[in-house]
Amino acid sequence: MIYIYILSLLSFSMDMASFRDTDSTTYVEVYYSVSYHSLKYIKEKGRYKAAFSITINVKGQSGKDSLKYTFSRVSYIANIKDAEDRDLKATDLIPLTLPSNQDYSISLTVVDNSTGKKQIKIMFLHSRQWNKFCTSDIQLSHTMTSGKEGKFTKNGYRLIPYPERVFGTSKPIMDYYLEIYHFPKKRGKIFYQILDKNGKTYKNFPQKSISIPYKNFVEAGGINIIAMPEGAYTFKIGVCDGIDTIYTKKPFSIYKKRIRVRRKLLPEYLPYAKFIDYIATPKELDMYNALSDSGKLVFLERFWAKRDPTPQTPKNEYLEEFIKRIKYADEHFSYINVLGRETTRGRIYVKFGPPDEIVSRIHEVSVKPYEIWKYYSGNGMVFIFADFSYSGRYEIIYSNLSSEPYDPNWKSYILSEDAQDILQRR
């Protein structure tokens, strides 16, 4: 089980696997990966650099720190497009050796050094005794090759850490690695099974007969999952010595990324495309404001792509209409040093477009300047704006939308015939 504490929206993935070190000590690999979206990259000597720190804290049964230290990491990418196309992540493992037959909590804290954003994740481990017939945990990876040495290499197999354990179109092969210890016989069988999210058998694989002259050995391979539907699964391996069968399992999931033509925002569109305050949800705004500059650019591309009514065409009509509205608002509603898009009338215009009817009262003697905007669609929306200071700064004094400001004395600020007309529409 993983407990997550999110502070300022940095995101990373964490996983771990236990192996035999000796019969009484456990070798643990703690895996982590940090997506480039979560880090702030700064251009440096022709490439982009992000600096972050990781603190690992291991606590034993007493609750006291058994181990705690912090180390620094640096991630480099060539450019933002390359990072997105390849879904780049800063990935690594932290090796630990712990006494067996104890319970531990292992936490990772990742901090972006530039922004201070951070996240904490905690996993729990029971380190086993290894003095009898048993197996390690299953380690899953998207890339396994032969290798003689290196941090990611064990017993001649080099596995790239993959704490996400999400496979699909871009990662169609699920590689697995398992160590078996104190195998009591010369021959035996290995069973492979995939369970669905309810724990029921989704697929049985042909069993494998083994003839092993050693007590300790490795079982590793790969499974093509490209034909499997999306969802949550569990990979289960059973090792049988002819009498006893021991099982171990590892959850994974399948997600098949929808291929969508990526539309980069044109440079001339960007000043307008960034102005999403009026149409984004509060959750989207919180996420956008917490991102680095590079992350914001990717967010905006996806934000507008989701709203494209014709994604199969090169043109995003929704964005182009949005830009037209902002330009109109800037041209017609600006005053002093305030852009029209940032005014009250500008906000309504950008959100709902041009009204179907405008009643403009700017030269009346008995009342201050005001405008009534009427929309025939959208349940007949009505907005009344008044310029109390004669400066061009119009504010809403009435609307039939409950989410808009409301002045209870609005009828006294406009002509009686206009007030009567509004009341008849209610």
d(C-alpha 25, C-alpha 38), whole Å: 36
Q: How far is CA 2 from the centre of its chain?
A: 17
The pLDDT value given to residue 166 = 94
| 196 occurs within a structural domain | yes
Same domain, 208 and 193: yes
The pLDDT value given to residue 85 = 66
Same domain, 103 and 175: no
The pLDDT value given to residue 426 = 62
The single residue listed with the structure tokens 């509060």 is 282
Same domain, 58 and 179: no
d(C-alpha 131, C-alpha 310), whole Å: 63
Domain that holds residue 251: 132-259
How far is CA 149 from each of CA 96, 146, 152, 156, rounded to the nearest angstrom?
18, 10, 8, 7
Nearest Cα to Cα of residue 189 among 211, 204, 205: 211
DSSP string, 174-217: EEEEEEEES--SSEEEEEEEEE-TTS-EEEEEEEEEEE-SSSSE
The pLDDT value given to residue 124 = 94
Helix (H, G, I), strand (E, B), or coil: what is residue 101? coil
Helix and strand element counts for the chain (H, E):
7, 25
| 336 occurs within a structural domain | no
The pLDDT value given to residue 4 = 34
The pLDDT value given to residue 41 = 85
Number of Cβ within 10 Å of residue 278's Cβ equals: 16
* pLDDT tens-digit map of 81-106: 667 666 788 899 999 999 999 999 99
For residue 338, give the DSSP letter. Answer: B
Helix (H, G, I), strand (E, B), or coil: what is residue 121? strand
Same domain, 247 and 123: no
The pLDDT value given to residue 114 = 86
Instruction: Please report, for the domain that includes residue 184, its CATH number.
Output: 2.60.40.2550
Same domain, 113 and 164: no
Same domain, 198 and 108: no
Residue partners of 417: CB distance under 8 A and separation at least 6: none
Looking at the structure of the chain, the number of domains it has is: 2
The pLDDT value given to residue 309 = 81
d(C-alpha 25, C-alpha 22), whole Å: 5
| 5 occurs within a structural domain | yes
d(C-alpha 414, C-alpha 317), whole Å: 38
Q: Which amino acid is at 189?
A: K
Same domain, 89 and 179: no
Pairing of strands 166-167, 245-254: parallel
| 1 occurs within a structural domain | yes
Q: How far is CA 18 from the centre of its chain?
A: 27
Pairing of strands 47-59, 65-77: antiparallel
Q: Which of 259, 293, 327 is the last residue of a domain?
A: 259
| 98 occurs within a structural domain | yes
The pLDDT value given to residue 263 = 63
| 381 occurs within a structural domain | no
State the pTM of this model: 0.62
Residue partners of 234: CB distance under 8 A and separation at least 6: 194, 195, 199, 249, 250, 251, 252
Q: Which of 243, 259, 275 is the last residue of a domain?
A: 259
Biggest CA pair distance of the chain? 105
Q: Which of 238, 259, 280 is the last residue of a domain?
A: 259
Nearest Cα to Cα of residue 19 among 159, 135, 190, 145: 135
| 72 occurs within a structural domain | yes
Instruction: Please report, for the domain that includes residue 5, its CATH number.
Output: 2.60.40.10
DSSP string, 389-400: TSSS--EEEEES
Report residues of the chain scoring pLDDT below 50: 1-8
The pLDDT value given to residue 224 = 94
d(C-alpha 48, C-alpha 57), whole Å: 30
The pLDDT value given to residue 44 = 83
d(C-alpha 317, C-alpha 124), whole Å: 50
First to last CA, the chain: 55
